[in-house]
Structure 1
Amino acid sequence: MKRVMKLLAVALMLLVFVGCSSDEALTTIRVAEVTRSIFYAPQYVALELGYFEDEGLEVELQTIAGGDKVMIALLSNNSDIGLVGSETSIYVAAQGAEDPIINFAQLTQTDGTFLVARAENDHFSFSDLAGETFLGQRKGGMPQMVGEYVLKEHGIDPETDLELIQNIDFANIASSFLAGTGDYVQLFEPTASQFVKDGNGHIVASFGEESGNVPYTVFMAKESFLAEHEDAVLKFTRAIYRAQQFVESNEPEAIAEIVQPFFVETDGELLTSAVARYKAQGSYANNPLLEQASWEQLKTIMSKAGELPADIDYEELVNRQFAEQVLDE
């Protein structure tokens, strides 16, 4: 009996040792996402299905509301990788950053917002916004710039043809509309679908469909971090690509079920509806490569919104090597 107990004790010690060794072998990557959104479904798929662990990475996910705050986290080394709109990297570079923020893996490739009307309108036209109150997103952010770009493409001047409200914090936009502010509002999923389900609004247009492909949400890091941690960044990109392929090839119901733990307060049917909308309009990039044409469209949108601080070349702020390598594997 004593011999058996000794063997069990040794076995237990070996199990503990192996477990500790496995944990110690993981490389920690601190990722700051600009918001928690079903728009970022591939990231949550990679986390939930263990794709990062398969690559020897332990991802610590932080939600830091606001693109400017994500940039501060990166520049101050409080985060390693940011998931945010590419426009933020242009803003930082235009200020003469010695260690610029570099885009290396694209996650979403269209705008993720929808135009929600307070009143039902089965024959909506953007000209219907003339003279109305439009509750938009934060000035200088991609949602607002895309919103203004789309309005102008349809002959609506957001400064003169309607009442534009853009001084409400992102977290309070939906509640402000519910409280009676605005005739139209620009919302992400699943909030837009929740409004429809509750009878508080009607989705009449997709800004993603109207604006074309842009590097809307991208993984980025300081240039020095990419240089010093090439192996880890490559592994990170490989895990993201694997998740992108999963999202590309699976049904919305399956994707929604996997990411549900990240949205415990959201109904599963709403998550499924949101994923289906994003898949249908091609919002989820099916690979991490940020193409130059999308970068040029981003600058066009920023320029027309009067928010492009400098015409910075694609090669200066986009690193293709990690995406190209995982695509070649």
Structure 2
Amino acid sequence: MMLRRWRIAALAAAASLLALTLAACGKDDAPTKVRIGEVTRSIFYAPQYVALAKGFFAEQGLEAELTTIPGGDKTMTALLSGQIDVALVGSETSIYVHQQGSADPVLNFAQLTQTDGTFLVARKPIPDFKWEQLKGTVFLGQRKGGMPQMAGEFTLKKKGIDPQKDLTLIQNVEFANIPAAFASGTGEFVQLFEPQATVIEREGKGYVIASFGVESGKLPYTVFMAKQSFMNKNGGTIQKFTNAVRKAQKWVQTASTAEIAEAILPYFENVDKEVVTRVVERYKSQGSYATDPIVDETEWNHLLDVMESAGELKQRAEYGALVNTKFAETAVKEVK
């Protein structure tokens, strides 16, 4: 009788141990949730949607939750307040936080785009466009202090145009309302992201005549960033995240325009497939998508030059203070 009781107790203990083991395994196997906040929904960020659509985050054991938070200031506020873990936004926002003297700096760890993503759109076709033709015109620009406007002004100055003196520059229209404002008659020229530029072209309300991305040069334009405190506590998660980004970048480099458009189309339900394909081709052909996640020091210094030219830089932010390349360098070595 006693032997029987001992066996029952032993079996119960074994069952309990097995249950605990299975529970532990289940816990370890559960994906780690990462909350991403993107500054806007744009085909400019195609590699990010590829990483989601192709399951590259999932392969790394991550559950990526993507939220669009319009405006760099709002995206950064969400990151600083802990509403999101990772922000996809212009590098200049991390510099603005640094200039305010943050004790928990925001670090750039994986670059997604390496040029400006805007285009110059005219109300009428200009086959032999010359930049000096902008002088004396009404120009509908982007938000002051934002990377699009700074890259735009940098290009204009490079072309011998003083944005404040040679143009009637409009900067008080909300980012989301700029395409509609131009379509309704505001301005002779406008600086637009895609797919809005292509949509306006298709509607016959404007014509793309130049690329600010080509003219302003390579920049760490849109980068994944996180607070230093988060990165210190979650280094493994950041590495897995960067690995997924790297895999998506490699896929985008070798895939056809049609394949990329097909992969990201679910993230642009209200945009025609033809438009998505055309925009992907435009960005890919001008080298806007970063080929690897490493934030380059030369490009970082060019970013500072652009900000300095726009009068938005109190002092130059050291590369090593706001850029962490460890995760990106590891990803380049490991993800083949």
Q: Name the CA distance, whole Å, in 2 between partners of 1:75 and 1:190.
A: 30
- Does the Cα contact within 8 Å between 1:115 and 1:184 map onto a contact in 2? yes
The equivalent of 1:122 in structure 2 is 127
Q: Secondary structure at the match of 1:215?
A: coil
Structure 2 residue 291 is matched with structure 1 residue 286? yes
For normalisation by structure 1, the TM-score amounts to 0.93
Paired residue secondary structure (1:58):
strand
Find the counterpart in structure 2 of residue 176 from structure 1: 181
Question: 1:109 and 2:136 equivalent?
Answer: no
Unaligned runs of 5+ in 1: 1-16
Q: Residue 310 of structure 1 is aligned with which of 308, 315, 318?
A: 315
Residue 91 of structure 1 contacts residue 309 of structure 1 at CA under 8 Å; is this kept in 2? no
2: CA distance, partners of 1:256 / 1:214: 24
Return the alpha-carbon distance in structure 2 between the equivalents of residues 183 and 24 of structure 1: 56
**Pair 1:95-2:103 in alignment:** no
For 1:23 and 1:258, the matched residues in 2 are separated by 30
Asked if the contact 1:90/1:310 (under 8 Å) is kept, the reply is: no
CA contact (8 A) 1:136 1:166 kept: yes
Q: How far apart, CA to CA, are the structure 2 residues paired with 1:94 and 1:310?
A: 8
One of 254, 258, 262 as aligned partner of 2:267: 262
- SS of the equivalent of 1:155 reads coil
Partner secondary structure for residue 120 of structure 2: strand
Task: For 2:81, give the aligned amino acid.
Answer: S
Q: In structure 2, what residue type is equivalent to 1:227? A: N
Q: Does 1:163 align with 2:163?
A: no
The CA deviation at 1:24 is: 6.1
Task: Quote the offset at 1:113 in angstroms.
Answer: 0.2
Look up the SS of the partner of 2:197 in the other structure: helix
1:209 to 208, 214, 218: 214
Q: 1:71 aligns with which of 76, 87, 90?
A: 76
Deviation at 1:309, TM superposition (A): 2.4
Deviation sequence 1:162-199 (CA, Å, 0-9, x none):
10001100000000001100000011111111111111
For 1:26, the aligned partner's letter is P
In the aligned structure 1, how far is the partner of 2:133 from the partner of 2:206?
Answer: 16
Alignment deviations for residues 79-103 of structure 1 (CA, whole Å, 9 cap, x no partner): 1000000000000001000001000
Q: Which residue of structure 2 lines up, in the alignment, with residue 80 of structure 1?
A: 85
Partner letter of residue 70 of structure 2? A
Identify which range, 103-112 or 186-195, moves more after superposition: 186-195
Q: Pairwise CA RMSD of aligned residues?
A: 1.5
SS in 1 for 2:160: coil
* Residues matched between the structures, number: 313
Deviations 1:201-255 (Å, cap 9, x if unpaired)? 1101000000110010000000011111000000000000000001110111110
Partner of 1:26: 31
1:312, distance to aligned residue in structure 2 (A):
1.0
Question: 2:223 is matched with which residue?
Answer: 218
The one-letter amino acid of 2:225's match is M
SS in structure 2 at match of 1:84: strand
Provide the C-alpha distance between the structure 2 equivalents of 1:155 and 1:166, rounded to a whole number of angstroms: 20
Alignment match of 1:133 (pick from 129, 134, 138): 138
**2:324 counterpart of 1:319:** yes
Q: Give the residue type in structure 2 aligned to 1:262.
A: Y
Query: Equivalent residue for 2:18?
Result: none
Cα deviation, residue 137, structure 1:
0.3
User: What letter corresponds to residue 288 of structure 1 in structure 2?
Assistant: P
1:236-247 maps to which residues of 2 (within 5 A)? Answer: 236-247=241-252
> Aligned equivalents of 2:255 and 2:99: distance in 1?
40
Q: What is the rounded CA distance, in whole Å, between the counterparts of 2:270 and 2:163 in structure 1? A: 35
**Normalised TM-score (structure 2):** 0.91
Counterparts of 1:198 and 1:31 in 2: how far apart (Å)? 33
For the Cα contact (< 8 Å) 1:110–1:212, is it kept in 2?
yes
Is 1:51 paired with 2:56? Answer: yes
- Are 1:27 and 1:57, in contact at CA under 8 Å, matched by a contact in 2? yes
Q: Please state how far the C-alpha of 1:22 moved relative to its aligned partner.
A: 8.0
**Which amino acid in 1 is paired with 2:153?**
E
SS in 2 for 1:238: helix
2: distance between equivalents of 1:308 and 1:173?
A: 26
Runs of 4+ more than 3 Å apart = 20-24
Which 5+ residue runs of structure 2 have no aligned equivalent? 1-21
Structure-2 separation of matches of 1:85 and 1:262: 21
- Aligned residue number for residue 14 of structure 1: none
* Percent of paired sites with the same residue: 55
Which residue type is aligned with residue 171 of structure 1? Answer: A
Q: Is the 8 A contact 1:105 1:288 kept in 2?
A: yes
